[in-house]
Amino acid sequence: MRDKSILTHAKRILILGPPGAGKSTLAEKIARATGLPLIHLDHYFFGANWAQPNPEAWRKHLEELVTQDTWVMEGQRNNLSLRTMRADVVIYLDLPLVLCLWRVVKRRLRTHHTPRSSKREDCPEVITWPFFKYALTFNAKRSWMLETIFSQPGERHVIVLGSPNDVEAFEREELLPSPF
């Protein structure tokens, strides 16, 4: 069993994982439980209708976001080392590819052309071939991402959750008030 004080004392919590893993949902639950401000990177990264920013402008904006004193941050959006260096806790959702792809398709069907809470209002939910290909090949980056997370200087807690059961157990242990 993990030390329950991990999230209690954390000031900056980073949540990573493939599309459909549940990053936004977990981030929202952690932000509610801890009172830390929530940063959905997609909300800041994309412009209207999913327009991508200039890489230099995005890095500057991301630097401003990560230098804030406290946050729960979720999303991919490049510059992994910049985000992990500032995080006290990194949670990597390492869920099976088939489950994540199913969730992406289910989400698209459920929220047909409507924005999600983690996205800008002018970015309706759509699945394009480039996005689906990104989701399909995401796990190829897994070892690189974990190596980057573990190789960053400084101390941080790294939690890898490999199944929906692991995520539920984490939520029970870390987010629900202790009965004692």
Q: Do residues 158 and 90 touch, judged by C-beta distance below 8 A?
A: yes
Residue among 86, 91, 60 nearest 74 (CA): 91
How deeply is 20 buried, as exposed, middle or buried, from its count of CB atoms within 10 A (0-12, 13-18, 19+)?
buried
Tell me, what's the pLDDT at 4? 52
What's the pLDDT score for residue 158?
93
Question: Total structural domains in the chain?
Answer: 1
Tokens, residue 76: 């991919």
Residue 145 domain-assigned (yes or no): yes
Specify if 135 maps to a domain: yes
The answer to whether position 180 is within a domain reads no
Q: Which of 61, 97, 92 has the alpha carbon at shortest distance from 79?
A: 61
In a domain, 107, yes or no: yes
Predicted confidence at residue 7, as pLDDT, reads 87
Return the CATH number at 26.
3.40.50.300
What domain range includes position 147? 5-175
In a domain, 51, yes or no: yes
Residue 119 lies in a domain: yes
Look at residue 2 in the predicted model and tell me its pLDDT. 47
Residue 18 lies in a domain: yes
Low-confidence ranges of the chain (pLDDT < 70): 1-5, 47-50, 77, 111-125, 177-180
**pTM (2 decimals)?**
0.85
Nearest to 25 by CA among 173, 136, 164, 177: 164
Cβ density class 38-54: b for 16+ within 10 Å, e for less: bbbbbbbbbeeebeebe
Domain membership flag for residue 158: yes
